[in-house]
Amino acid sequence: MSESVRIPFLSKDNSHMNLSFVPTEDRPKAAIEILGEMLKYKRSLKLYLDVCTHCGACAEQCHSYLGTKDPYNMPVARVDLVRRVYKKLFAPGHSIFRAWDGAKDIDQETIDLWYKYFYQCNQCRRCAVYCPKGIDTAEVTIAMRELLAHLGLVPKFHAGITKNMKLTGNNMGTPIPAILDGIEFLEEELKDETGLDIPIPVDKKGAEVLFNPSSSDLFTNTDGMMAVAKIFYKAGISWTLSSRITETANFGLFFHEPTLREHNRKLMEAGKELGVKRIVAGECGHGWRTWRMFTDTINGPLPFPVVHLFEEVLEYMKDGRIKFDKSKNPEIVTYHDPCNYSRGGNLIEQPREILRACVENFIEMTPTAQYSFCCGGGSGILMDEAMELRMALGQPKAESVRNTNAKILCAPCAICKAQLPTVMTYHKVDVTVKGLSDLMGRALIL
C-alpha cells in the first residue's frame, strides 16, 4: 500500500503533540518497542490479546463488519492483526505453541493494515457487550492508534483538531474574539426570538455552573446553544462559559493519551479559576465518557463534580424550575443512543425521561440503549476522504431508524450530528437529525 493512497489522509505535522516521524524502514522495530512498553502498563491490552478464543460471537454484532462486510473488520480479526505479532514476540509459552496460535513477524504490510483497520473501528464497544470474555476492542484500537501516532502515522483530521485544542481549547480552532462575537450574536437572536434578555455569560467568576459546550454548538448547532441559555435562564441558575475551553469533546481519548490528559486538566483549571460549584458537560458522546470516567484518575479528588446537561435538567424538572410543552414537538421522534452515553457513560434513562417530557410521540428503535448501533462517525471518523467508509459504517444504524418511520432522529452528540444527516440521506431514510437540547429549547415554557 503506497503512502499516497492511505485513507484517512496522513498528517504532515504532529509536532504540537511532541510526535515525530519514524523513517519507514525503522517502523517495525520502533513498533515492537512501543508495543512491548504498552503491554507493561495496560492490563486490558495484554488480557485481551491472551484471552480471546476465536469464538466469533463479536463478528455479527459489529456495525463495522456488518456495514463494510470486510472480514478484517470483525473485532476478533481486527485484534488478531496485533495478536499475531504479540504471539511471535511477547506471548508466554513455547514458540511452537505460539506458532500454532498464528504467530507472525511484524513487517511493513502489518503496519499498513494496522493503520487501515484501526481507523475503521469506531471505538463503540458494542463488541464488549456481546463478547463472553468481555473483550473491549476499543481499548486495543486506542492503544494501536497511539502506537501508530508514535510512528508518525496520524490522520490529518485528528492532528488538525488536536492542534486547535492546544491553541484555542476547542476543536474548531475558534479564537476568543470569534467566540465572543458569536455569543453576542446569539444573545441578539435570543432577544429577537423571545423578547427576553437571556444572557450567555463568558468567564463570569463565582457562577454556580461552568457549562462546557461542543464547539460545533457555536458554529452549526447553534439551536442547541440557545436552548441551553434559555434553560439556565428559566431555571434561575447563574452560569458561565469559559473562553479558554469551549469544547466538551476530547479527541485525545481516541489516539493520544497526553492530549486526553491535557484537555481534561484544562477544564478542571477553568472551573477552579472561575470558582464554580460544578461543571456541566454538553452534548458530546465521547467527551461525556471522558469527563465521567477519566477525570478523577487524571486530576485526583475533584473539587467539584462534573455532571451532564441532562442530569442537570432533570434536577431542574424535579424542582419545578422548568416545564416543557410537549405540543411544541408533535412529530414522531426516535432516540439514538450515542455509544459513549449508553455503553460508555451510563446515560441511558436520563435523556429518555427528558424526551418523554418534551415530545409528544417518542418511539424506541431496535436495537436500542446499550445494544444500539454506532452512527459510524465515532472516534473521529468524520473526514471527507473516508466518506465511502463512513456511509458503510452507518448502514446498520440507517436500517434501525428506517424501521421506526420517525420524522426526527434525536442524537445528542456532536459527532453523531455531523455523521447522521449524511448517513440518512445516503441510505434514503427521510428523517431530520436534532440534538436533545434543540427539542428542549422548542418545548421549554419561558
Partner 1 sequence: MAELNINGQVIVLDEDGFLEDPDVWNEEIALALAKTEDVEELTEDHWKVINYLREYFAKFGVAPMVRKMCKDTGVDLKTIYVLFPSGPAKGACKIAGLLKPTGCV
Partner 2 sequence: MSVLFGWVLPYIVLIVFLGGMIHRMLAWTHIPVPFKLTVFPSPDTTCGAVADLAKEAIGFRSLWRGKKGLWFMSWLFHISLAFIIVGHFFGIGLLGQQFTMFGISAEESEHLSALMGTYAGVALVLGLLMLSIRRISSPTVRFISNFADYLALILLIGIAGSGMYMRLFAEIPYSVVQEYLVGLLTLHPIAPPNHPAFLFHFTMVELLLLYFPSSKLMHSCGIFFSRWLITRPHERQVILK
- Site of interaction with partner 1 (CB under 8 A): 9, 156-157, 160-161, 164, 170-175, 177-178, 181-182, 185-186, 189, 214-216, 218-220, 222, 249, 284, 382, 384-385, 414-415, 417-418
Cell numbers that stand for 408 in this block: 426526527
The residue type found at 121 is: C
Q: Is 26 among the residues that bind partner 2 (CB under 8 A)? A: no
| The one segment of 123-131, 181-189, 385-393, 437-445 that binds partner 2 by CB under 8 A | 123-131
Q: Provide, rounded to whole angstroms, the least separation between the CB of residue 385 and partner 1.
A: 7
Cell numbers that stand for 438 in this block: 434543540
Q: Is 426 among the residues that bind partner 2 (CB under 8 A)? A: no
User: Binding to partner 2 (CB under 8 A): which residues in 82-121?
Assistant: 92-94, 97-98, 100-102
Q: Is 370 among the residues that bind partner 2 (CB under 8 A)? A: yes
What would the x/- binding string for partner 2 be over residues 278 to 307, using CB under 8 A? x-------------xxxxxx---xx--xxx
Asked if 302 contacts 296 with a C-beta cutoff of 8 angstroms, the reply is yes
- The site partner of 13 among partner 2, partner 1, none (C-beta below 5 to 8 Å per kind) is none
CA terminus-to-terminus distance, the chain: 58
- The site partner of 98 among partner 2, partner 1, none (C-beta below 5 to 8 Å per kind) is partner 2
Identify the three-state secondary structure at position 444: strand
10 Å Cβ neighbour count for 105?
A: 11
Q: Name the CA dihedral angle for 297, 150, 157, 25, rounded to a multiple of 10 degrees.
A: -160
| The one segment of 56-64, 222-230, 237-245, 357-365 that binds partner 2 by CB under 8 A | 56-64
10 Å Cβ neighbour count for 2?
A: 6
Helix, strand, coil percentages for the chain (3-state, nearest 5): 55, 10, 35
Q: Is 202 among the residues that bind partner 2 (CB under 8 A)? A: no
* Helix 137-151 × helix 43-51 angle, to 10°: 120
Choosing from 342, 350, 379, 404, the residue that interacts with partner 2 (CB under 8 A) is 342
- The site partner of 218 among partner 1, partner 2, none (C-beta below 5 to 8 Å per kind) is partner 1
Find residue 307's DSSP bridge partners.
280
- The site partner of 17 among partner 2, partner 1, none (C-beta below 5 to 8 Å per kind) is none
| The one segment of 40-48, 108-116, 154-162, 230-238 that binds partner 2 by CB under 8 A | 40-48
Comparison of 12 and 43: residue with beta carbon closer to partner 2:
43
Q: Is 57 among the residues that bind partner 2 (CB under 8 A)? A: yes
Distance, CA of 333 to CA of 313 (rounded, Å)? 19
Phi, psi at 10, each rounded to 5°: -85, 145
Q: In this structure, what DSSP letter does residue 280 have?
A: E
**CB proximity list for 362: less than 8 A, separation 6 or greater:** 333, 334, 335, 352, 355, 356
Choosing from 46, 407, 427, 442, the residue that interacts with partner 2 (CB under 8 A) is 46
- The site partner of 189 among partner 2, partner 1, none (C-beta below 5 to 8 Å per kind) is partner 1
| The one segment of 5-13, 215-223, 342-350, 434-442 that binds partner 2 by CB under 8 A | 342-350
Choosing from 19, 31, 34, 74, the residue that interacts with partner 2 (CB under 8 A) is 74
The Cα-based distances of 131 to 62, 138, 277, 340, 345 in angstroms read: 11, 13, 40, 18, 19
Distance, CA of 213 to CA of 242 (rounded, Å)? 10
Q: Is 196 among the residues that bind partner 2 (CB under 8 A)? A: no
The Cα-based distances of 319 to 259, 279, 373 in angstroms read: 38, 19, 34
| The one segment of 46-54, 109-117, 183-191, 280-288 that binds partner 2 by CB under 8 A | 46-54
Q: What ranges in 135-245 are assigned the alpha helix state H?
A: 137-151, 156-168, 176-194, 222-235
Comparison of 29 and 43: residue with beta carbon closer to partner 2:
43
Identify the three-state secondary structure at position 402: helix
Chain residues that interact with partner 2, rule: CB under 8 A: 39-44, 46-48, 50-57, 59-61, 71, 74, 76-77, 80, 92-94, 97-98, 100-102, 125, 128-136, 139, 278, 292-297, 301-302, 305-307, 311, 315, 342-346, 348, 370-371
